Structure 1
Amino acid sequence: MTAPRTEFHEGWGGAKLAVHRLGAGRPVLLLHGLFSSAGVNWIKFGTAARIADAGFEAIMPDLRAHGQSDAPHDPAAYPEDVLVKDALALVAGLGLADYDLGGFSLGARTSVRSVLAGLAPRRLVLGGMGLEGLAGWARRSAFFIDAIDRFDEIMRGDRAYFAKSFMKTQKVDRVATRLLLGSVDDTPPEAIAHVTMPTLVVCGAEDRDNGSAPRLAEALPQARYAEVPGTHMTSVSQRQFGDAIAEFLAA
């Protein structure tokens, strides 16, 4: 498998977004999780390669304030649902008319809200997301904002220590990501009745970070649940994670 190729495309407001592409075939737009990148969520552990091997093109942007994408410090660059605005801009700019959409954690939340905002993928993949997580962003956001604000004070044993360590490893721009956290909106449970395309909910067996994934699958009109090994942080590193997505898309 060849290495992913990287391009830069405009998001909302002209922000420069790095887009990594692997494979050839039906496009699958994949959105990564908070503090992460396309490289970590999709490329490093082989998920993108498995999707490409199944006959698809994995299109993987680094979200605003992440990876190689722009991370502006101007609050005006983070209006309500800016990640959804970026997703819509990328779909239009890339000329995607017949495609699939997937996301992990924050990327899954963004995928759902993008569908509610008008995107119409053939199939949808929601990784690391539960029913309660879609509507419970305020609590999650507060935890991460606290980790950013106390970054230099957090010591081993603090419940935010792992978040601090991951931010440090990923060289996260804490000013930009703090602004981004305030732009993300909740999705009430009743709204997901409008997400009607076939959907895969895939989640680690030990992952409860965003609530119950089986309950999310039950609440969606056309969804099935796939359980893979791991926690919220380790499930994306499992071969079964990529296999479940590739098999669902190819069905």
Structure 2
Amino acid sequence: MSEARTSMIPSFDGTELAVHRLGAGRPVLLLHGLFSSAYMNWIDFGHAAALVDAGFEAVMPDSRAHGESARPHNVGAYPHDVLVRDVQALVDALGLDDFDLVGFSLGARTAARAVLEGVAPRRLVLAGMGLEGLSGWERRGAFFIDAIDRFDSIRAGDPAFMAKGFMTRMRTDRVAARLLLGSIGNIDRAELAGISMPTMVLCGRKDRDNGSPQALTSALPHARHVEIPGTHMSSVTEGALGDALVEFLDG
């Protein structure tokens, strides 16, 4: 597989977002999880390659404050739902109309809210997500804000120890990440009825970090629940994730 084609695209406020692209065909816009990156979530474990082999183009932005995208430290760069506004800006800048949308964890929350705000993919995948991760995201966000605030004192056995380890591995800009977390709010369950396209709720068998995927599936008008091996973190490393994406998006 060739190297990803990377370009920097200004968002609605001029903040530069790195977008990595592989393949050709129907675009699939893939949104990674918190503290992660496009490479970690989609490229390193072969999911983008699986999509490319199936005839899709993988379009993979690094979210604001992540990966190769800008990481501003001013609070004004993080208005409410800034990640959603970034998605809207990228869809417009890239001229995406006939495309699919996939999000993992925080990327799934962003994808769901983007659809509710008018982004219109052909098919939608919400991965690593349950109902409580959308309707109770502020509680989830508070956990990570606390992990950032206590970063230097977290030790093994602390519930936030794994989050600290991942932030360390990803060299997370904790100032930018904390500001970003303050921009993210809940999605009411009743709002989910507005997501009308075919949707797959894709979750690791042992992943309940963001609540119940079954409850999320039930709250969506046209959704199916698909399980793959793994926990919230390990499911990203499973080839079954890429296989499930291909099977659903190729249908």
Q: TM-score range by the shorter chain?
A: over 0.9
Equivalent residue for 1:5? 5
2:15 maps to 15
Q: How does 1:231-246 map to 2 (within 5 A)?
A: 231-246=231-246
Structure 1 match to 2:88: 88
Q: Following superposition of structure 1 onto structure 2, how do residues 195-214 of structure 1 map, counting pairs within 5 Å?
A: 195-214=195-214
3-state SS of paired residue (1:2): coil
Give the conservation status (yes or no) of the 8 Å contact 1:38–1:61.
Answer: yes
Q: Secondary structure at the match of 1:40?
A: helix
Distance 1:178 1:12 in 2: 21
Would the aligned equivalents of 2:192 and 2:220 in 1 still touch at CA under 8 Å? yes
Q: For the residues of structure 1 that align with 2:150 and 2:244, how far apart are their CA atoms?
A: 38
CA distance in 1: counterparts of 2:110 and 2:43, whole angstroms: 20
For the residues of structure 2 that align with 1:66 and 1:12, how far apart are their CA atoms? 17
- Secondary structure of the residue aligned to 1:20 is strand
**Equivalent residue number for residue 63 of structure 2:** 63
Tell me the secondary structure at the aligned position of residue 9 of structure 1: strand
Question: 2-side partners of 1:3 and 1:147: how far apart?
Answer: 34
Cα distance in structure 2, aligned partners of 1:5 and 1:77: 26
Check conservation: 2:29, 2:58, Cα contact below 8 A: yes
Structure 2 length-normalised TM: 0.99
Q: Deviation at 1:192?
A: 0.3
Following TM superposition, where does structure 1 have runs of at least 4 consecutive aligned residues deviating by more than 2 angstroms? Answer: none
Residues 128-183 of structure 1, C-alpha deviation per residue, up to 9 Å, x if partnerless? 00111101111111110111011111111111111001001000000000000000
**3-state DSSP class of the match of 2:176?**
helix
Distance in 2 (CA, whole Å) between partners of 1:157 and 1:132 is: 25
Q: Structure 2: where are the runs of 5+ without partners? A: none
Residue 178 of structure 1 aligns with an amino acid whose one-letter code is R
- Aligned pairs for 1:43-192 (under 5 A) are 43-192=43-192
Query: What is the root-mean-square deviation in Å for CA atoms of aligned residues?
Result: 0.7
**Which sections of structure 1, spanning at least 5 residues, go unmatched?**
none
Following the alignment from structure 1 to structure 2, what is the Cα–Cα distance between the partners of residues 169 and 149? 17
Q: Secondary structure at the match of 1:58?
A: strand
Q: 1:12, CA displacement in angstroms?
A: 2.6
Is residue 201–residue 216 contact of structure 1 (8 Å, CA) maintained in 2?
yes
What SS does the corresponding residue of 2:19 show, helix, strand or coil?
Answer: strand
TM-score normalised per structure 1 = 0.99
Matched to 2:233, the amino acid is M
Equivalenced residue count is 251
1:26 and 1:142 map into 2 onto residues whose CA distance is 37
CA–CA separation in structure 1 for the residues paired with 2:120 and 2:185:
20
Rounded to whole Å, the distance in 2 between the matches of 1:225 and 1:245 is 12
Deviation at 1:4, TM superposition (A): 1.3
Q: How far apart, in 1, do the equivalents of 2:169 and 2:117 lie?
A: 33
Q: Is the Cα contact below 8 Å between 1:101 and 1:121 reproduced in 2?
A: yes
**What is the one-letter code of the residue matched to 1:60?**
M
Secondary structure, aligned partner of 2:83: helix
Distance between the aligned counterparts of 2:74 and 2:209, measured in 1?
Answer: 30
Aligned residue identity for 2:203: C
CA shift digits 1:48-78 (9 cap, x unpaired):
1001111100000000000000000000000
Q: Is contact 1:12-1:82 (8 Å) kept?
A: no
Instruction: Confirm or deny that 1:37 pairs with 2:37.
Output: yes
Contact 2:138 2:184 in 1 (8 A): no
* Residues 1:28 and 2:21 are matched in the alignment: no
Provide the secondary structure at the position in 2 that maps to 1:12.
coil
